[in-house]
Amino acid sequence: MEFFEFYRKDRWPHQFCPGCGLGTIMNTMYKAFNDLKMDINKTVFVSGIGCTGRVPGYINADSVHTTHGRALAFATGIKLARPDLNVIVISGDGDLFAIGGNHIIHAARRNIDIKVIAVNNATYGLTGGQLAPTTPYNMITTTSPYGNREYPFALADLVAAAGANYVARWTTAHPNQLVNSLKQAFTTRGFSFVEVVSQCPVNFGRRNKMGDPVFHLRWIKEHAIPISKVSFDVKTPYEILDLNTKGIYIIGELVRRNRPVYGEALSEEEEESVPME
Amino acid sequence: MLTPGRYFLSGNVATAEAALLAGCRFYAGYPITPSSELMEHMSGRIENEGGVFIQTEDEISAIAAVIGAAMTGTKSMTATSGPGFSLMQENLGYAAMTETPIVIVDVMRGGPSTGQVTVVAQGDVLQARFGSHGDYETIVLAPNSVQELFDLTIKAFNLSIMFRNPVILLSDAELAHMTEKITVPEKIDLVGFNDIEIEGIPKFTPLGIGGKLAITGLTHNEKGYPITTDVQVHRKLVTRIVNKITKNEPIISDVEIINPEADTLIVSYGISSRAAYPVIKKHKDVGLFRPRTLWPFPESKFKEITKNKRIIVVEMNLRGYGLEVERVGRKYGAKDFEYINLIGGEVPKPYQIEEVL
């Protein structure tokens, strides 16, 4: 499949700012989708509101751009009504974890067969760079002019705790690993979640001495620690939260498991493994 | 599924069974009194008919899942009550903007806020029409018996598909919990997707058949691509989704009229209207205008009988449907307006209407 068979050429040029991480993410999505030879006519892309929410609109497939925060709720309806379709949700951190926080933990808890790409740029880019639930401590945004005094969410860890079958975190500075991870996510049965830490030089970096996309990308790279290099004692939720507060991201595959999938009939073996009174 | 014949059913159960007969194969909901029995009944029944049931984390996700399922061409519905209906308003507007056919049953209880959980009210009459932001139209149906709950549920699915628009069925705590005799007819007329061509309504294409749909709640052109700053694109789109309902009001309207020649006309709907029948039987100079379709307002039917009439509006809210009755009534020469507005959970009684005659 050519790049412009996957993306709608008649919608080019896209609206994203120069230096935006979504370019890398759109490329890696295309690569993963193409490598797996997935059927674009059997795939629905769903998003909420925000910069990332606009991505499905550029894809040459069924795309549903929904209301703010509700992408997963819409995706749940689509997947349950048509279980044969691949349902891929791509949305931002504010959309999925602030206004839509309830939906993502419940979708992960149900372990419904939906694939989620969460683009975490630590801010609300589309509305002008306001404080997000992912903004690292002390960082400047348009609604935290003296520095953020809140603790950020560790997105992937939250979803892992809620019960997804596949959870990984990568950054736009790791495109090859991201492609492999997306492929793994797309082929895992059940709820799959890939967090992509991404740069927003225009609306976040600029206010934090990273206005140049290269600086912002370098900052992300420097703050990303591979999970293999994290010692066992910082893998507790508390320690992860602490690292996250400093804007440090543990990258890699956090979870790969095979829990029963919502809406799918259980095999006898699985039936036995479910605790019953 | 219910076979043709007579049954003794509660309102909530009759609504659920009617939905199944209408072809509803997706139900998402969140428990709320007084609608819960509908959801409970659905959870046990819909899978037998090859459908899907999900209990969502809140009413926002219930309506969102219903819209998502409806986009795949599955007849879908949810049921709720006032507080849940308030939560659904944003996505109700989304369904109108994306022209997705869904059915919402609002089993009304006393509001505002948590209000009176278990008792009847008709306070959501205006919310059902004006609840979401921006310009849009809904079709709102108001049954006054368990039989009508059954009939209008089927009608709700048909209208939603014909007009590609959300349809709201206004049930209430009284109807929902009341058990009455109903007749399931031999033949039920169902409208399928794209069965009827109506001007201004584009053909429905479901997700997942390679249609490469671009669906968005943003102002969009015919291809579904967002164009948000062009005056003409917005005007054309929004005027069309409003006109497809308002211009077809004569087709949609369904009213019951008794004694149209009488000097005094009772205007009432839903459970309140049942107080009017004994009054009309006793007083020959009193008539009834009872809309089964509250919105769009059945102006084409109302204007024919309203000239020089004294109108008594009976409803269970303080300021509701009477506002529109008065607006349209004045336009067509009604003489005088009286209001019986009962809140608190008390269904109007015939003597309360007789007192103002």
Q: What is the pLDDT along chain A (277 residues), one digit of tens a residue?
A: 899 999 999 999 999 999 999 999 999 999 999 999 999 999 999 999 999 999 999 999 999 999 999 999 999 999 999 999 999 999 999 999 999 999 999 999 999 999 999 999 999 999 999 999 999 999 999 999 999 999 899 999 999 999 999 999 999 999 999 999 999 999 999 999 999 999 999 999 999 999 999 999 999 999 999 988 876 665 666 677 677 777 889 999 999 999 999 988 766 666 666 655 4
Q: For B305-334, what is each residue's pLDDT tens digit?
A: 999 999 999 999 998 999 999 999 999 999
How much is the pLDDT for A211? 94
* Averaged pLDDT of chain B: 97
Q: Please tell me whether the peptide bond between B348 and the residue prior to it is cis, using omega within 30 degrees of 0.
A: no
Helices (H), chain A: 3-6, 22-35, 55-58, 71-81, 93-94, 101-110, 155-162, 175-187, 213-222, 237-245, 268-273
Name which of A8, A78, A86, A126 to mutate to probe chain B: the one with the most chain B Cβ atoms within 10 A of its Cβ. A78
Return the residue of B nearest to A102 by Cα: B57
How much is the pLDDT for A230? 79
Q: Can you tell me the mean pLDDT for B159-186?
A: 98
Q: Can you tell me the mean pLDDT for B229-251?
A: 97
How much is the pLDDT for B214? 97
User: What is the distance between the alpha carbons of residues B172 and B107, in angstroms, rounded to a whole number?
Assistant: 4
Q: Can you tell me the mean pLDDT for B338-345?
A: 96
CA B185 to chain centroid = 22
Q: How many CB atoms lie within 10 A of CB A146?
A: 7
Indicate yes or no: CB of A77 within 8 angstroms of CB of B69: yes
| Domain at B255-354: CATH code | 3.40.50.920
CB A115 within 8 A of CB A166: no
Min distance B213 CA to chain A CA atoms (Å):
4
Q: Identify the DSSP state of B274.
A: G
A-B C-beta contacts closer than 8 Å? 115
User: What is the distance between the alpha carbons of residues B327 and A225, in angstroms, rounded to a whole number?
Assistant: 67
How much is the pLDDT for A235? 60
Name which of A64, A86, A103, A264 to mutate to probe chain B: the one with the most chain B Cβ atoms within 10 A of its Cβ. A64
How much is the pLDDT for A121? 96
Q: Please tell me whether the peptide bond between B226 and the residue prior to it is cis, using omega within 30 degrees of 0.
A: no
**Chain A CB within 8 Å of residue B134 CB:** no
Beta bridge mates, B336: B310
CATH domain B5-184 topology: Rossmann fold (3.40.50)
Question: Which residues of chain B have a CB within 8 Å of the CB of A106?
Answer: 56-57, 61
> What's the pLDDT band for B341 if we cut at 50, 70, 90?
very high
Q: Identify the DSSP state of A11.
A: G
Torsional class of B210: left (φ above 0), alpha (ψ -120 to 50), beta (otherwise): left
Min distance A82 CA to chain B CA atoms (Å):
7
Indicate yes or no: CB of B215 within 8 angstroms of CB of A60: no
Q: How many CB atoms lie within 10 A of CB A263?
A: 15
How much is the pLDDT for A231? 67
Q: For B132-148, what is each residue's pLDDT tens digit?
A: 999 999 999 999 999 99
Q: For B68-104, what is each residue's pLDDT tens digit?
A: 999 999 999 999 999 999 999 999 999 999 999 999 9
How much is the pLDDT for A229? 84
How much is the pLDDT for B332? 96
**Chain A CB within 8 Å of residue B28 CB:** yes
User: From the list A44, A61, A80, which residue is nearest B54 (CB)?
Assistant: A80
User: From the list B52, B208, B215, which residue is nearest A85 (CB)?
Assistant: B208
H or E stretch at B288? strand B286-291
CA-based nearest residue to A77, from A48, A46, A99, A56: A46
Question: Domain map of chain B by residue range?
Answer: 5-184, 255-354
- The answer to whether the B5-184 and B255-354 domains have the same CATH topology is yes
The listed CATH number (1.10.1040.10, 1.10.357.10, 1.20.1730.10, 3.40.50.970) that belongs to domain A19-257? 3.40.50.970
ipTM value greater than 0.85: yes
**Chain A CB within 8 Å of residue B94 CB:** yes
pTM: 0.96
Q: For B24-67, what is each residue's pLDDT tens digit?
A: 999 999 999 999 999 999 999 999 999 999 999 999 999 999 99
User: What is the distance between the alpha carbons of residues B114 and A146, in angstroms, rounded to a whole number?
Assistant: 39
How much is the pLDDT for A247? 80
Indicate yes or no: CB of A73 within 8 angstroms of CB of B64: yes
Question: Which residues of chain B have a CB within 8 Å of the CB of A60?
Answer: 212
Question: Domain map of chain A by residue range?
Answer: 19-257
Q: Which two tokens stand for residue A220?
A: 């992300």
How much is the pLDDT for B263? 95
**Chain A CB within 8 Å of residue B210 CB:** yes
Q: Which residues contact A272 (CB under 8 A, 6 or more apart)?
A: none
CB B30 within 8 A of CB B57: yes
CB B95 within 8 A of CB B67: yes
User: What is the distance between the alpha carbons of residues A38 and A42, in angstroms, rounded to a whole number?
Assistant: 8
